[in-house]
Amino acid sequence: MKAHYQKLFAYNTWANDRFAEVIGQMKVPDTEILRLFSHIANAQVIWLERLQNQHNTVGVWDEYNAEKAIGMVKESSLSLETFVSQTEAFDNTMVYKNSKGHQFETAASDILTHVANHGTHHRGQIATLLRKKEIAPPASDFIFFVR
């Protein structure tokens, strides 16, 4: 199981880095693209904090400028890779409260799967917005990563 999540989060970092590069090169920042990329950063930070039994330090939809969002995505992506490489607790049930204060119990493996899928979903939204601006989004499908 560990090898699966190590590959999944190596992919997550790779894909996030590809989008960070395009966003960092945009001459005129796009507020919706930055809102979504900031959300990816926030979600990664929030879920990692939950996995580590820490209090959340960011809001789900806090927004940042390009430099801050890119830095947070890069740092949280690498932190998730580190967490996965150091944990053996994939089947552990994590108890946490969501952003509305409701308590849940979820297996760490399900949380990790969610985080990876969540990032893929929002990168897809960003790709659509880039296309509307006539900016080619990076190829970020998993198959491109494993090739």
**The predicted structure's pLDDT at residue 28:** 87
The one-digit pLDDT tens for each residue of the chain (147 residues) are 999 999 999 999 999 999 999 999 998 889 999 999 999 999 999 999 999 999 999 999 999 999 999 999 999 999 999 999 999 999 999 999 999 999 999 999 999 999 999 999 999 999 999 999 999 999 999 999 999
**The predicted structure's pLDDT at residue 15:** 98
The neighbouring-strand residues paired with 95 are 105
Where is 93: in which H helix or E strand? strand 93-97
**The predicted structure's pLDDT at residue 140:** 97
The neighbouring-strand residues paired with 93 are 107
Give pTM, 2 decimals: 0.97
123's tokens: 């990168």
Distance in angstroms (rounded) separating the CA atoms of residues 94 and 46:
13
**The predicted structure's pLDDT at residue 62:** 98
Distance in angstroms (rounded) separating the CA atoms of residues 109 and 87:
11
Cβ pair 112, 77 in contact under 8 A: no
**The predicted structure's pLDDT at residue 103:** 97
Residue 103's φ and ψ, nearest 5 degrees, are -90, 140
